[in-house]
Structure 1
Amino acid sequence: MNLGAFSISLNVKDIHKSKDFYENLGFQTFGGEISQKWLIMKNGSTVIGLFQGMFEKNLMTFNPGWDENAENLESFTDVRTLQKQLKENGVKILSQADESTEGPASFTIEDPDGNPILVDQHR
């Protein structure tokens, strides 16, 4: 099962302070909009998202259809197919993608320790 590009999405208190901190660690802004209180930052192949006021907890994020540079992959497993496979494997889906649609969609699960995992397809 290929879930797509991986990143960690961090719930931050102050987007500006967090941006400065991660820049000091060698990260550069890769996407997002600081005025909307979210940024995607990259250091080599490591990708983090900074989100102020959007999530309760930090979460792992997978993006089907993208590589680590947010470039479209030629082929990928659709988020709805991934969701169906996980359901069949007994994984509880917390928020579901609408299986009657196509294109962008997402679902959320938790690991056994309560760590949230977002599978978020943008295309």
Structure 2
Amino acid sequence: MELGAFSVSLAVKDISASRGFYEKLGFAPVMGEEAQNWLIMKNGDYVIGLFQGMFDKNILTFNPGWNTNSETLESFTDIREIQRVLASSGIESGATIDPDSKGPANFSVTDPDGNVILFDQHV
């Protein structure tokens, strides 16, 4: 099962201060708008999202169908299949995606320590 591109979505208090901090670590904005309180930043293959006022806590994010440059993969495991496999393993999500639907969709699960894992397919 291929989960797609991985990133960490950080719940930040001051997006400008966080941007400056991560730029010092070699990250550069590649997507988003600081004025809208969100930025996606990259350093090589490493991706972080900065989100001010959008989440209560940090989230691990997988993007089925994308590589680390947000380019669509020719072949990937569809999010509905990922959700089905997880459910058959006893990992339930809060909302179920219609198995007959196609295209973009998302769901999340929570690990035993309360960490949220978002599966967010854009294609």
TM-score with structure 2 length normalisation?
A: 0.95
Identity %: 59
1:15 aligns with 2:11: no
1:101 aligns with 2:94: no
- Does the CA contact (< 8 Å) of 1:98 and 1:105 recur in 2? no
> Which blocks of at least 5 consecutive residues in structure 1 are unaligned?
none
Distance in 1, matches of 2:109 and 2:19, equals 28
- 2:62 equivalent in structure 1: 62
Summarize the alignment of residues 1-123 of structure 1 with structure 2, pairs less than 5 Å apart: 1-123=1-123
Distance in 1, matches of 2:95 and 2:17, equals 31
Please identify runs of 4+ aligned residues in structure 1 that moved more than 6 A: none
> Which blocks of at least 5 consecutive residues in structure 2 are unaligned?
none
TM-score with structure 1 length normalisation?
A: 0.95
Between Structure 1 and Structure 2, how many residues are aligned?
A: 123
